[in-house]
Amino acid sequence: MSDHTEVCVVGAGPAGSLLAARLAARGRDVVVLDAGPRFDRAEDLQRVERELRPSHSRPDVWEMDQDPSRDGVRDSYSTTGEIDYKLNRARVKGVGGTTLHWGAMTPRLHEQDFEMASRHGIGVDWPIDYGTLEPFYCDAEREMSVSGAPNPYAGPRSEPYPLPAFDPSHSDGIVREAFAEHGAPLHACPRAINSEQNDGRSACMGYGTCQPVCPSGAKYSADVHADRAEKVGARIVDRAPVVRLDHDESGDRVVAAVYERDGERRRVSADVFVLAAGAVEIPRLLLLSTSQRYPDGLANTSGAVGRYFMEHPGIKVVGEFDEPTRQHLVGYETSVSEAFYDHDDGPAGTMIVQPYNDAGEYPVAAALSSRPLSGRLADGDVTAPFASDEWGDALLDDVRERTEGFIALKAWVEQLPEWENRVALDRSRTDDRGHPVPDLQFSVGEHASASLRRAESFLYDVLESAGATEVKTVVGPDEPWFAFHHLGTTRMGTDPESSVVNAQLRTHDLDNCYVASSSVFPTGGAANPTLTIAALSLRLADHLDGTL
């Protein structure tokens, strides 16, 4: 089968779906190809059960492969670098992309993030500034129905948030003064979750399972825009992984996206191609698309494709309190502080600090998981190896002990772009269709590690001032958690020698090949990336509509 369209979009996550919906609404002919399925959202409640019952694992929920070390599987990958990264917990393949699973926190980048090199001598500057993106931030906030309130640390806004912010939680109140006392006053946390019924979707009903699934539809996910795109004429093809991009003889234009479906190879030819497959699969696709003209991969004259991978490493510190802390009553965090975002103030290094609403175990998890043997032994219970799991009143006591009286604080930090941190191909291993798998090689780096150590001491100060009787690092700077934000692997810049796309997101090498993704971020800040991805995508839609 061969098809021609004006715009071929690879990937139906937020980057691809927002762009497709916008261009289709303007009468453009759009085809979207996505590697994963179209999920039946009527099955969300079964997904909730899969999430809540400890005998299932996270990647189960959206059918990501669980054992990526096996060859011949759709989602196989390698991690030959320092960090054993759980990539399949960090992404979803399917219409809606990873936003089916995401937490929907939507801060903007700050003005300084676009100018880290000129302001602070670290990283690189973006070729665009905050002001250029600001109207598109507003647009993105409207499209994703963000609930929020302005905070004193973020960049200037030209429009209010579309929906009112969620009120802080009871437990935010327990630590509020302590955050302020140590220099980081809390403020509302912007979220793409409906605080009111809006846009044909429900208000938040408090299921508390937003990550990984919101059965009420109050949490924005990009299937909203995929559906919208379809209604205005776009064609969305699921289970259609693009395996290579072919260029014309001159090497100046992409002529076809080659994908595989129902055991067949098919092609879509288009005037313009937009790669929106996420910051791991985009470089992989480019690296797979070698030719005589581009022996190191398409659009890779700079050698920067796959390079400068960044994440947001984080830590978690938990305090125990003598009072009930009212956890697990809602699925998202309701306060945050961007005060330490400023490089010059507070702990140096860009970071976000936040109280969580899910400390301790949730009741089902505590009730359904027998208490780990190691825990019982550590408590001096020598009979543990012979004991059976307790039910009835003993179980209730155990559940109480494991669910009540905790508050968790987290911080995550900026990681600087480093050439060595990368998505490469592991040619020794192949996926279900025989293509080399992505190989994620990266380490956290001294800059981010130092920020994490400063964050840890700040979080201890807060919990101790708030009256915690015991404070403990659950995830520390040496082995941080990751926010599952993938950045930097096709960086944007003015110099074709050192970057992959220009300020219009067009690849330097090819005239009609664009990238919509956090892979274009030259630096990552500490803000969660998806609102910025959405703003860049909407800006690109405008640009393409003007040039097609």
Partner 1 sequence: MKLSRRDALVALGAMGVGAGGVGVLRERAAESEEAMTDVLLAAAEVVYPSAVTPTREFVSAYAVGRRRFDADAERFERAVADLDRRARHDTGQSFASLSLARRRDVFRSLGADRAHANHGGTTAERVRYYVVDDLLYALFASPTGGELVGCENPPGHPGGTDAYQRGPEA
Is the link from the previous residue into 212 a cis peptide, with omega within 30 of 0? yes
Stretch that binds partner 1, among 9-17, 176-184, 358-366, 416-424 (CB under 8 A): 358-366
3-state helix, strand, coil in the chain (%, to 5): 30, 20, 50
Site mask for ligand SF4 (CB under 6 A), range 193-222, x = bound: x----------xxxxxxx---x-x-xx---
User: Binder to ligand FAD among 8, 12, 462, 520 (CB under 6 A)?
Assistant: 12
Choice from 4, 53, 120, 265 touching partner 1 (CB under 8 A): 53
Confirm or reject binding of residue 192 to ligand SF4 (CB under 6 A).
no
- Are the C-beta atoms of 148 and 545 separated by less than 8 Å? no
- Residues 29-88 close enough to bind ligand FAD by CB under 6 A: 33-36
CB of 481 to ligand FAD, least distance (A): 11
452 in Cβ contact with 92 (< 8 Å): no
Of 172 and 414, which CB lies nearer to partner 1 in the complex structure?
172
Query: Looking at beta carbons only, is 281 or 456 nearer to ligand FAD?
Result: 281
* Interface with ligand SF4, residue 407, by CB under 6 A: no
User: Which of ligand SF4, partner 1, ligand FAD, none binds 211 (CB below 5-8 Å, type-dependent)?
Assistant: ligand FAD
Structure tokens at 107: 């801060």
106-145: which residues touch ligand FAD (CB under 6 A)?
A: 106
Q: Which of 94, 148, 215, 349 binds partner 1 (CB under 8 A)?
A: 215
Convert 459-487 into a string of H (helix), E (strand) and C (coil): HHHHHHHCCCCEEEEEECCCCCEECCCCE
Question: β-strand 436-441 against 264-275: which pairing, if any?
Answer: unpaired
Among ligand FAD, ligand SF4, partner 1, none, what binds residue 214 when CB lies within 5 to 8 Å by partner kind? ligand SF4
19 binds ligand SF4 per the rule CB under 6 A: no
Query: How far is it, in rounded angstroms, from Cα 101 to Cα 99?
Result: 5
Residues 277-316 that bind ligand FAD (CB under 6 A): 277-278, 281, 285
Cα-flanking dihedrals φ and ψ of residue 259, to 5°?
-130, 165
Question: Is position 209 an interface residue for partner 1 (rule: CB under 8 A)?
Answer: yes
CB 108 within 8 A of CB 150: no
User: Which of 61, 73, 93, 201 shows the shortest CA–CA distance to 144?
Assistant: 201
User: Which residues 6+ apart lie within 8 Å of 302 measured at CB?
Assistant: 496, 497, 498, 499, 500, 508
Please state whether 484 falls in left (phi above 0), alpha (psi between -120 and 50) or beta.
Answer: left
Backbone angles phi, psi at 168, to 5 degrees: -65, 160
List phi, psi (to 5°) of 45: -70, -30
Question: Which stretches of the chain bind ligand SF4, using CB under 6 A?
Answer: 193, 204-210, 214, 216, 218-219, 330-331
Question: Which stretches of the chain bind ligand FAD, using CB under 6 A?
Answer: 10-16, 33-36, 90-91, 93-94, 97-99, 101-106, 211, 241-242, 276-278, 281, 285, 484-485, 517-518, 528-530, 533
Question: Which stretches of the chain bind partner 1, using CB under 8 A?
Answer: 42, 44-46, 48-49, 52-55, 166-170, 173, 195, 203-209, 215-216, 323-324, 326-331, 334, 357, 362-364, 366-368, 370, 388-389, 391-393, 395-396, 399-400, 403-404
